[in-house]
Structure 1
Amino acid sequence: MGPDQASRKMQRRQFVRLSGTVGATGVLGLVAAGDASADGGPVPGAPPADAPGAPGTAPCPTPSQLCGYPTDTGGRYDLWDRVQVCEGTKTGPPFPQCLRTTPTYVILNGGSGSNHDYLLVPSCRISGIECPFIASASAPNYWLEAWNNAQPGQPGHVVYPHIGLGVNSADPAIRQQDQLHIHLAGIHSGIQTQLNNHDSTITNAPSNWRNQIVPIWGLTSTGAPAPRSYRVLHVANLNQNLFTLLRDSVVRPTGATMAAQILAVTPRLVGNGGFYVLNSEPGLPVPPGQPGGTGTVDFLLAYA
């Protein structure tokens, strides 16, 4: 088994082993057909996006094949079941990993049991990065909420030198749960070092993000080097919706699909600070001699 295969196997350790499969062609093809359209009209009312757990009315996408249905249950929807149990809208065994429950998201323990492995999961039924709602003006700022919840004193406090947040692509060989979830984890120290070294060439202009390709050596689940390339953008803060930024700056201009994308966020440790936003997709075009793209964030993030 090669490093890539070992890394993909590692995905399964994030959650309870689940049965059920979805064909990659079916998922990605569905998104390609529906990605350019609106999601059908979210429920009006935007929640406040300041303190974690702030009360408010949670907008949700219109149920659809692309975003999922509230009646989805079991198997690849286990995370959605857990959200509903945490909210008290579904009966089931109590989950000790219901660390915070809000109108827009819940914070859960990840699968490794470490103190740097948590999940932010929307309270809405949202399949994943392919659901157009998450890039709409009505969507909560899940990334800012994830960052806030990873801080000291918060239920998802990541005890690690530096925080890494991440979302996988819709590829069912990689993503084992079809309910949107942002990983709150550590980031491998070597990733930060490489980003520091490339900092002078990393853009802060969203319009240049799709062309800002940086070779990064990540790690597989076995600790083996995993050379890949990522589009990297420097942002001053997380006040904007990164899903919207990705859609408008990368996906639409390149004719790609949201389903194929990954996103990762980590602090910028040099200059005037801020954050690095990393994006990749399978088959990412790269200059000769540079490594190719990836559909997983697990080369970047440290869980266990």
Structure 2
Amino acid sequence: MKASAPKGFRYWPHRSASQARRRKRTLNFSWLAAGWTPIAWCLSPAHALEVPRDHLWTLIHDSCAIAAKHQVYPPSPCTEVVAGPDGSGSYAVFKDHTGRFQYLVLPLARISGIESPVLEAADTPNYVAAAWNARLYVEAALHQPIPRDAMSLAINSAYGRTQDQLHIHIDCVRPDVHEVLQRLVPTLSEQWRPLAEPLPPAKHRYQARWVSGSTLPLDPFKSLAASLPRGDRMAAHSLAVVGAYSPKGEEGFILLSGRVDEAAGDRGHAEELQDIECTIAFAH
């Protein structure tokens, strides 16, 4: 199921890794230095119930997409709107209200979240890979590059989110989560299996698998969906992606999925693995 982007979008074609690195070196971050900040959407715990669950969708559909259509840059309140090479897979990059460094990637297509069957369709583009490429905005906010194993992506379950438009959180991984994953990398395989230890900060249990490559060669949504046993539902799962290195020093990713467990107080909130202060970046 393909989503068409309105004509006139500011178009950044998909780039190779080397092209992405060149763009990272040359991207002008003067808007950061000038103090430009996008409109923040307020979803703090105290106000989450006051904000409609389609608030994010309304922002990107009624504001960002229209601004991009008229060649306004940045397409406020978004930072960037990217059109797919064949008119599908368009997405917005948005500065989250949470912390100074966190960004979101959101499809311009109407996709509720991780449970949407659209994400399992063969012709649906890899939005998670797009989010990984958009990590340069976090680095811009930090004013420094950070190692791949300090960066993470998070998608909450249907029960652990406050908005019903798919949004992928881009932020640093928690240092204590990083420490556990570094220790467990040698135990990972290319099959989804229970992680040997629970993860901080709440000691929730996760499934995990290894993916080799400097960029994501597979779609984590499709990989997770294909691994679920009969009767299980994507809505009850969260998804996280953490950049990593294999024991041999090869680039790759750790995919993580938590499952809602009311008895354990687990809402499938993968954001818990991220650190809005980006402590690990400053440590590096």
Q: 1:157 to 1:179 in 2, by over 3 A?
A: farther
User: Deviations along 1:181-235, whole A, 9 cap, x unmatched?
Assistant: 000011001111101111222122x3xx1x333323322xxxxxx1111111010
Q: 1:95 to 1:274 in 2, by over 3 A?
A: same
Q: Which amino acid aligns with 2:211?
A: V
Q: How does 1:139-158 map to 2 (within 5 A)?
A: 139-151=124-136
Q: How does 1:173-184 map to 2 (within 5 A)?
A: 174-184=160-170
Q: Which amino acid aligns with 2:97?
A: G
**8 A Cα contact 1:79 1:177, kept in partner:** yes
How many residue pairs are counted as aligned between the two chains?
220
**8 A Cα contact 2:155 2:271, kept in partner:** no
Partner of 1:218: 200
Partner of 2:208: 232
The yes-or-no answer on 1:303 pairing with 2:276 is yes
**8 A Cα contact 2:65 2:75, kept in partner:** no
Partner of 2:48: none
Q: In structure 2, how many angstroms separate the alpha carbons of the residues matched to 1:157 and 1:145?
A: 20
Instruction: Give me the identity figure in percent.
Output: 29
Structure 1: runs of 5 or more not aligned: 1-40, 55-73, 220-225, 285-290
Q: 1:200 to 1:152 in 2, by over 3 A?
A: same
User: Deviations along 1:213-270, whole A, 9 cap, x unmatched?
Assistant: 3323322xxxxxx111111101013121111101102x2x253101111000011134
Partner of 1:34: none
**8 A Cα contact 2:157 2:267, kept in partner:** no
User: Deviations along 1:119-171, whole A, 9 cap, x unmatched?
Assistant: 00100011111111112111111111101110369878896661110100001
**8 A Cα contact 2:131 2:170, kept in partner:** yes
Q: Secondary structure at the match of 1:278?
A: strand
Partner of 1:262: 238
Partner of 1:168: 156
Higher helix share: 2
Q: CA deviation at 1:110?
A: 0.5
Q: 1:295 to 1:113 in 2, by over 3 A?
A: closer
Q: Secondary structure at the match of 1:81?
A: helix
The alignment yields a C-alpha RMSD, in angstroms, of: 3.3
Partner of 1:125: 110
- Among residues 49, 52, 65, which one is paired with 1:75 in the alignment? 52
The yes-or-no answer on 1:199 pairing with 2:199 is no
Q: CA deviation at 1:112?
A: 2.1
Q: In structure 1, how many angstroms separate the alpha carbons of the residues matched to 2:221 and 2:261?
A: 20
Partner of 1:67: none
Q: 1:133 to 1:231 in 2, by over 3 A?
A: same
Q: Secondary structure at the match of 1:218?
A: coil
Q: CA deviation at 1:283?
A: 3.3
Q: In structure 1, how many angstroms separate the alpha carbons of the residues matched to 2:177 and 2:165?
A: 27
Q: Secondary structure at the match of 2:54?
A: helix
Structure 2: runs of 5 or more not aligned: 6-11, 21-50, 69-73, 84-89, 278-284
The yes-or-no answer on 1:51 pairing with 2:51 is no
Q: Secondary structure at the match of 1:165?
A: strand
Q: Which amino acid aligns with 1:164?
A: S
Q: In structure 2, how many angstroms separate the alpha carbons of the residues matched to 1:178 and 1:100?
A: 21
User: Deviations along 1:68-97, whole A, 9 cap, x unmatched?
Assistant: xxxxxx71111111112101189xxx9744
**8 A Cα contact 2:155 2:168, kept in partner:** yes
